[in-house]
Amino acid sequence: MESTPAGAGPGRRARSRRRRGFVAGGLLLVALVMVSLAVGSREIPLADVVHALLHRDPADDQNLVVWELRVPRTVLAVLTGAALGVAGVIMQAITRNPLADPGLLGVNAGAAVAVAVGISVFGVTAVGGYVWFALGGALLSSGVVYLLGRAHDAGTNPIRLVLAGAALTVVLGSVTSVLLISGTDTAFDDYRNWATGSLQGRGFEVLPVIAVATVLGLLLAVLIARPLDQAALGTELSTALGMNHRRTWIIAVAAVVVLAGTATAAAGPIGFVGLAAPHISRLLVGQGHRWLLPCSVLVAAIVMLAADVLGRVVVAPGEIGAGVMTALIGAPFFIALVRRRRVAKL
């Protein structure tokens, strides 16, 4: 009887399948990037898009559309999608709740009230201004939730943190409503454009801070990949395996705040991506966070970019915000997963 070669068997086949899946997902993302650069209120042939990318010419109208409007918008869609996907994985892991999303830490509510203040009180109208207000509000609200929920002890009782986030979200939502109701029609319209999750008008000026914050958040997520695997085993067993709950929670909360806060600041409150992308990724690569985190980056980026592209096409030459499109596309799919009981247990 011949012996089985080392490394052969189900494990090797699973790794090979995962690699093929990543390659396929990468090719799909590249294809979506090219489509994103080509479609919009002004259609540009793919050959002209490639030419514009390789030969930048400020005197060419099509070249300007590609470089000044669609390149930053496409990069931003990929970054925000990746950030929300990883933030969702972390939230579901540390709370052991398959329906958890980054909004549980008050990120969306904090960003929303800060943007409302910026528009209504300070008269901010530029997208670059929204980003700073929203990022500051997300960080501040998450810090309050962290303190109220005693997150340093939440490794043994994550319910406190979730309840604190839910309570603060209700309060901040009421404040946002008061500001908008008492404000001008222009202020309401400006806020509505941000809140729909539209990426229109985002230029290169917002990309550096978004890119740096996203990379920082992803690095924090990588640091706790193994502890997140241990957290799924329960408090007692994970402690026996040497998991430091306090350290893991501090890094996890910091990663979620940076990732979700940055994405919300850049694109508005996007509700579906951070919830569903982790579940889709689990169906593809399983529970291990060494594979789950990069897969969620890829899946969430694809979902976000596809939603943005479809939002430009379905009512052309008008546009529907990516936040609205993610809900329209993703909610039925997620409901189907739940009804078929294919939402993975944590």
pLDDT tens digits for range 211-241:
999 999 999 999 999 999 988 777 777 778 7
Please tell me the total number of residues recorded for the chain in this structure. 346
Structural domain contains residue 34: no
Structural domain contains residue 345: no
Structural domain contains residue 298: yes
Structural domain contains residue 44: no
| Main-chain phi, psi angles of 222, to 5 degrees | -65, -35
- Residue 244, SS3? coil
Q: Give the side-chain half-sphere CA count within 13 A for 38.
A: 13
Q: Is 268's pLDDT higher than 70?
A: yes
pTM, full prediction: 0.89
Q: Give the side-chain half-sphere CA count within 13 A for 110.
A: 29
Q: Is 111's pLDDT higher than 70?
A: yes
Structural domain contains residue 291: yes
Cis peptide bond N-terminal to 317, omega within 30: yes
Across all residues in the chain, what is the average pLDDT?
Answer: 85
Structural domain contains residue 290: yes
Which single residue is written with the structure tokens 């990724």?
A: 281
Which range marks the domain in which residue 78 is found? 49-334
Query: Tell me, what CATH number does 280's domain have?
Result: 1.10.3470.10
pLDDT average, residue stretch 331-344: 66
Q: Which helix (H) or strand (E) holds 72?
A: helix 71-95
Burial 257-274 (b: 16+ CB within 10 A, else e): bbbbbbbbbbbbbbbbbb
**Which of the 8 DSSP states describes residue 272?**
S
97 exposed, middle or buried (CB, 10 Å; 0-12, 13-18, 19+)? middle
| Segment 119-158, tens digit of pLDDT | 888 888 777 788 888 888 988 988 888 777 765 554 545 6
Q: How far is CA 321 from CA 199, 206, 260, 275, 306, in A?
A: 7, 18, 18, 18, 12
Which amino acid is residue 168, in one-letter code?
A: L
C-alpha span between 187 and 130 (Å, rounded):
12
Instruction: State how many domains the chain has.
Output: 1
Q: Would you state the pLDDT for residue 342?
A: 54
Please say whether the beta carbons of 255 and 107 come within 8 A: no
Q: Would you state the pLDDT for residue 1?
A: 42
Q: Would you state the pLDDT for residue 166?
A: 86
Structural domain contains residue 246: yes
